[in-house]
Amino acid sequence: MYTKVKLYGGQDVNYVWVKEGTSTNEEVTAVDNNKISTPTWDAKTIALAPFINGISASELNNTASIVGYKIQRKNVNDDVLYNVAELSSDKTRIQDYNISNRSTFEYHITPIYELNNVRTLGSPIITDPISTDWSAWSVVGTKLTNKEKVYTVDEDNIWSFELNIKSNALTPKFDKTFQDGFGRFPRASYGNRNYIEGGLETLIGKVSYNGEYTDDNIDLWEKWVQFCANGQLKLLKDRKGHVLPIDIKDTSPECMDDLSEQVTTISFNFVQLDDSKVISVYGLVV
């Protein structure tokens, strides 16, 4: 950890002051002449941090107040931070739905300070690693927020499937065209298209704690059909670790009339519409 830095070839300072725009002649002259300077937070200040055994959020400015939090997720196997949500300070609990199975994550929670209508970021709090492990497929409904690529979860449409699961192949769709000519080999042309299509067959109901098959009724059937038709982006997750923003092309609920329980099997086909790495899907916990 540095306790000081040198600027302009010889001046020792014990703070970092980041401002919008460029330095004024007076500021540069004060540094060049090695004059004593005591910076003050103003409307153009982005960060002001003294080197006092390190930089922490409380040192950015003692009078700035926390107005929100920026929440980011990082897979422990890489160094990329993905945005989860940016919330006001009165929202302190959320659920992150855009996570994959058989993975380990950590979260970076960064306070947002505001002073004189200027917002700055403090030092992040980093959680302990969190691992995922589940045995079902799920399809989660989303609602678009006023921010591009940021969605909240549709609490009425969180579907989990774990009985009699049979998945179709997850088929990548590439934009490649091959054309025969007069030469020995064909010519190939390429585009940017690269998405996945697939399908799933499963029972719509659940198994209770005492082993009974439940929750399979006409209301659930109709709710599922309406969910498939609503035109909203959906988040599909499997047991392998895929996370796919999708919409459902078609669905075929089918009753087993030879069973007294009238067990319903649903099958559906889906198309990937986006990349899970560039979207956020979260829910607020009350």
For 95-148, the DSSP string reads EE----SS-EEEEEEEEEEEETTEEEE-PPEEPPPEE----SEEEEEEEE-SST
Q: What are the C-alpha distances in Å from 127 to residues 75, 232, 283?
A: 12, 32, 19
Contact status, residue 112 vs residue 70, Cβ threshold 8 Å: yes
pLDDT of 150 > 80? The answer is yes
Cα separation, 56 vs 124, whole angstroms: 9
Cα separation, 202 vs 167, whole angstroms: 8
Dihedral, 165, 158, 284, 105 alpha carbons, nearest 10 = 10
pLDDT of 17 > 90? The answer is no
- The pLDDT > 90 percentage for the chain reads 59
Tens-digit pLDDT profile for residues 168-183 = 999 999 999 999 989 9
Average pLDDT score over residue span 41-50:
65
Residue 286 or residue 215, greater confidence: 215
Look at residue 76 in the predicted model and tell me its pLDDT.
Answer: 92
Residue 23 or residue 197, greater confidence: 197
Contacts for 36 with CB less than 8 Å, ≥ 6 apart: none
Residue 215 or residue 187, greater confidence: 187
**Arithmetic mean of pLDDT over the chain:** 84
Write out the H or E segment, with its range, that includes residue 228.
helix 218-229
Look at residue 50 in the predicted model and tell me its pLDDT.
Answer: 57
In this prediction, residue 65 has a pLDDT band, given cuts at 50, 70 and 90, of confident
Look at residue 15 in the predicted model and tell me its pLDDT.
Answer: 65
Write out the H or E segment, with its range, that includes residue 202.
strand 187-203
Average pLDDT score over residue span 142-161:
95
Look at residue 115 in the predicted model and tell me its pLDDT.
Answer: 81
Q: Enter the CATH code of domain 137-284.
A: 2.40.30.200
**Domain extent listing, the chain:** 5-55, 65-131, 137-284
**Of 251, 239, 244, 240, which is closest to residue 271 (Cα–Cα)?**
244
Tens-digit pLDDT profile for residues 80-130 = 999 999 999 888 889 999 999 999 999 999 999 888 788 888 888 999 999
- Report the relative pairing of strands 150-161 and 280-284 from DSSP bridges: parallel
Contact status, residue 238 vs residue 101, Cβ threshold 8 Å: yes
Residue 217 or residue 226, greater confidence: 226
Cα separation, 64 vs 45, whole angstroms: 12
pLDDT of 195 > 50? The answer is yes
Residue 44 or residue 5, greater confidence: 44
In this prediction, residue 211 has a pLDDT band, given cuts at 50, 70 and 90, of confident
pLDDT of 267 > 90? The answer is yes
> Residue 38 CB: number of other CB atoms within 10 A?
5
Contact status, residue 125 vs residue 92, Cβ threshold 8 Å: no
Look at residue 31 in the predicted model and tell me its pLDDT.
Answer: 54
In this prediction, residue 54 has a pLDDT band, given cuts at 50, 70 and 90, of very low
Question: Quick one: three-class SS letters along 21-59?
Answer: CCCCHHHHHHHHCCCCCCCCCCCCEEEEEECCCCCCHHH
Average pLDDT score over residue span 155-163:
94
Look at residue 39 in the predicted model and tell me its pLDDT.
Answer: 62
Look at residue 13 in the predicted model and tell me its pLDDT.
Answer: 57
Look at residue 123 in the predicted model and tell me its pLDDT.
Answer: 84
pTM above 0.85, yes or no: no
